[in-house]
Amino acid sequence: MSALYRTTISALDKIVPSRLQPLWQHPAGPKTVFFWAPAFKWGLVIAGISDLRRPVDQLSIAQSASLAATGVIWSRYSLVIIPKNYGLFSVNVFVAMTQLYQLYRAINYYRSLPQNEEHVE
């Protein structure tokens, strides 16, 4: 796999326009996992936004809490590592925000239920 990667990057190095070279050569640029991991993690944000239409009784408090905690923890981590990864920071802030909102919706719903109808996860 690494030989295929090196060959592909070598070919792309020759065709990347000069004005995009600073991004291309950046320590957290498209040639590294520091770029692609956050790029694919935007899928979690999209899923969280699409879950806003989900009926609140189908939301999982445990899942929302876990994803919110992950977003907060990785947001902090992305600013501590070298190179600082602002792409990772932004995606994790959005993961945390969407999941904290989902968590609010779920907790608010379960608190509004009468005691005998409470949902147990």
- Mean pLDDT (whole number) for 6-21: 88
Q: What is the chain's Cα-based Rg?
A: 20
Would you put residue 82 in left (φ > 0), alpha (ψ -120 to 50) or beta? beta
The mean pLDDT value for 14-39 works out to 85
Q: What pLDDT is attached to residue 10?
A: 86
pLDDT band with cut points at 50, 70 and 90 for residue 101: very high
Of the pLDDT bands very low, low, confident and very high (cuts 50, 70, 90), residue 23 is confident
Domain spans of the chain, in order of start: 1-26, 32-117
Residue 43: CB atoms within 10 A of its CB come to: 10
Cβ(95)–Cβ(71) below 8 Å? yes
Percent of the chain at pLDDT > 70 equals 94
Q: Who contacts 4 (Cβ-Cβ below 8 Å, separation ≥6)?
A: none
pLDDT surpasses 70 at 1: no
Block residue for tokens 């932004």: 90
Q: Give the C-alpha distances (Å, rounded to integers) separating 101 from 7, 40, 66, 104, 110.
A: 44, 22, 13, 5, 14
In CATH, what number does 32-117 get? Answer: 1.20.1280
Question: Directed axis angle between helix 86-112 and helix 33-50, to 10°?
Answer: 20
Which range among 3-12, 14-23, 65-74 has the greatest average pLDDT? 65-74
